[in-house]
Structure 1
Amino acid sequence: MELRQLRYVVAVAETRHISRAAEQLHIAQPSLSQQIAKLERELGVPLFHRHAGGVELTDAGVRFVERARRILDLVADLEREMADVAELKKGRLVIGSLPVTGAHVLPCVLPAFRARYPGIEVQLVEEPTAKLIERAARGHVDLALLTLPLDAEALAWEVLGEEEILLAVPPGHPLAQRDEVPIAALADEPFILLKEGQGFRQIALELCHQAGFAPRIVFESSHIETVQSLVAAGMGVAFVPRMVARSGWEAFPPAYVCLAERPHRTLVLAWRKAGYRSRAAEAFVRLSRAMWGGEGHAVGEPGNEAARDGGA
């Protein structure tokens, strides 16, 4: 049974005449008769009584037409809804985000996105890096706000922008008076790091590795705010993204110092490579890139590997 056959039966029932229905449907009368007869054979019951003046529905035909109209109405509603989705008049977008990074990035983008696409429902999921990568790889989120490098073959991404990494030290620390500090000079310092599963932890470890030492880790935390509080309390030093250093630490702040190497991290929006990226997701990526000034290189395109190497 095909949708066109449902339409054919309904048209014949409404016109009560094969020829008039064929004219209305813009098909040949013999072709319409053949399709109706074929459907009746498949169903095993006649849908119409044929007579010289036209046709009349059988009892089975009355039931068939009633259901067929419901189905065709649902199909029409579905087509209209899909058209609205295609035109971004309605839909749903699930965005996964690193909690702290998302707290700084998304408030800039989400209001502009909602103003432009008020019919798109946006759902936010906050997870640490490892869980967020897993959700994105399984398609449980449409987009994930992450940082490079990403050890995830299942994901593609586009770059939003780059952000400098600073050194946070206790206010009374001798390094607090320096304009900049080479990372190698931190080899003997106690470090406070984020816990396993956090992407920024890997960035911090790689920075130390590139400088020729393994950090002496004295405390670990799941939250960058706690890391900074421990630094401010004199418990050690830490690397922090610039966006975090700029916010909310007036009461008891650590001191922030530039690193001589000017390291940075790269922010990306990632999605499942093998999955379908909706029009809403594409629109969110475009708007985010425009607001954050990223180059927007998709994985595998020129420029992406350079961003990946630089992000660590």
Structure 2
Amino acid sequence: MEFRQFRYILKIAEEGTLSLAAKKLYVSQPSLSQLLAAQEKKIGAPLFDRGGTCLTPTAVGKLYLETARSIIALDEAFHQQVDDCVRGAAGDVTVGLTQFRSTHLLAPMLPSFRVKYPKITLHLREDTTHRLEELAEANETDCIISLLPINERRFDYDILFEERLLLALPPAHPICAALGLAPGDCADPPPVPLHALQETPFLLMHREQKLHDTLFTLCEAAGFLPQITLETRSMNTAHALAGAGLGAAVLPETLISAAPPANPPCYAAIEGDPHRTIILARAKNRYLPRAVTIFRDELQAFCTK
């Protein structure tokens, strides 16, 4: 079988229809249909169920797709290893990360990295944490900046740093007056037992972001289910809305320090001092090109500073 056939049939599975796949591949739909029919005839079984509005892989089709991905990954790893031998500290690195990490972690690091390694080109794929894991498993990224916990059967990872979680409280909240909290002051915030906020509405992150589950886990441990007033995909938005008095939010100290809103909330530590661990992860047993290894080492050194 040719690699072109693997890639074309993988694209059919990704798009769900021959017409969309043909459009993305810049080929005619009849020719793509003929290629699929020829492969199914050669294998002796259909690769897709054509009964619904979208093509869905059959049992044989799933096996074919899994094998195709493995073969393509091996071919890419081989060529990358050859490239490493020939080119040295050069190449392309595709990094998956959230927009927050792109702005507040990579942006300060990249200028010096580019000066030091001008032949390494970085490509950024910004998405939610859950979606980033899917991209890594599909070999669409070389590595992702993510968080623990992560499925260790599917991913290898290196720890970058620990990040403290704090409470962002509306300035008019009774706890702020009781503790003498001033809006915008995040230096040495006093601890607050989370159960004291069981009557307080919370701002919730989207379910594809790990802070979504973190809020429920922390509140469950404190013995209550949080009241949700609003859901957002942006931590910056949650930060600003807490300052505007719409609700409380659990946010990383990194964000609070780096991007205070115009009207900041008050800040408190959470009793028990929860942290989260930021990691650089990659699909299990994926070959690490030299350029990716260099990027990993430089990122770890930057985070250590």
- Please, what TM-score do these two structures have when normalized by structure 2? 0.66
Q: What residue ranges of structure 2 are gaps of 5+ in the alignment? A: 1-79, 180-189
Q: Per the alignment, do residues 80 and 140 of structure 1 end up closer, same or farther by CA in structure 2, a change over 3 Å counting? A: closer
Aligned to 2:204: 193
| TM superposition shift of 1:293 | 2.4
| TM superposition shift of 1:79 | 10
**Paired residue secondary structure (2:150):** coil
Q: Distance in 1 between matches of 2:260 and 2:170?
A: 13
| TM superposition shift of 1:180 | 2.1
Aligned to 2:93: 93
Q: Distance in 2 between matches of 1:253 and 1:283?
A: 38
Aligned to 1:251: 262
In terms of Rg, which structure is larger? 1
Q: Per the alignment, do residues 246 and 79 of structure 1 end up closer, same or farther by CA in structure 2, a change over 3 Å counting? A: closer
Aligned pair count reads 215
Contact 2:243 2:264 in 1 (8 A): yes
Q: Per the alignment, do residues 175 and 118 of structure 1 end up closer, same or farther by CA in structure 2, a change over 3 Å counting? A: same
> Cα deviation per residue 1:126-166 (whole Å; 9 max; x = unaligned)?
00111111001111100101111124632111100101101
> Cα deviation per residue 1:43-94 (whole Å; 9 max; x = unaligned)?
xxxxxxxxxxxxxxxxxxxxxxxxxxxxxxxxxxx99954343x21x20000
**Paired residue secondary structure (1:106):** helix
Contact 2:239 2:261 in 1 (8 A): no
> Cα deviation per residue 1:256-297 (whole Å; 9 max; x = unaligned)?
112221111110000011321111111111111122129xxx
Superposition pairs of residues 56-95 of structure 1, within 5 angstroms: 82-85=84-87, 87-88=88-89, 90-95=90-95
Contact 1:133 1:152 in 2 (8 A): no
Q: Distance in 1 between matches of 2:241 and 2:81?
A: 57
Aligned to 1:218: 229
Q: Which runs of at least 4 in structure 1 moved beyond 4 Å after TM superposition?
A: 78-82
**What letter corresponds to residue 262 of structure 1 in structure 2?**
D
**What letter corresponds to residue 248 of structure 2 in structure 1?**
V
Query: Aligned Cα RMSD in Å?
Result: 2.1
| TM superposition shift of 1:251 | 1.9
Aligned to 1:288: 299
Q: What residue ranges of structure 1 are gaps of 5+ in the alignment? A: 1-77, 295-312
> Cα deviation per residue 1:160-216 (whole Å; 9 max; x = unaligned)?
010110100111212224322112222221111101111121222211122222211
Q: Distance in 2 between matches of 1:130 and 1:216?
A: 24
Aligned to 1:171: 171
**What letter corresponds to residue 252 of structure 1 in structure 2?**
N
**Paired residue secondary structure (2:167):** strand
- Please, what TM-score do these two structures have when normalized by structure 1? 0.64
Q: Distance in 2 between matches of 1:136 and 1:210?
A: 32
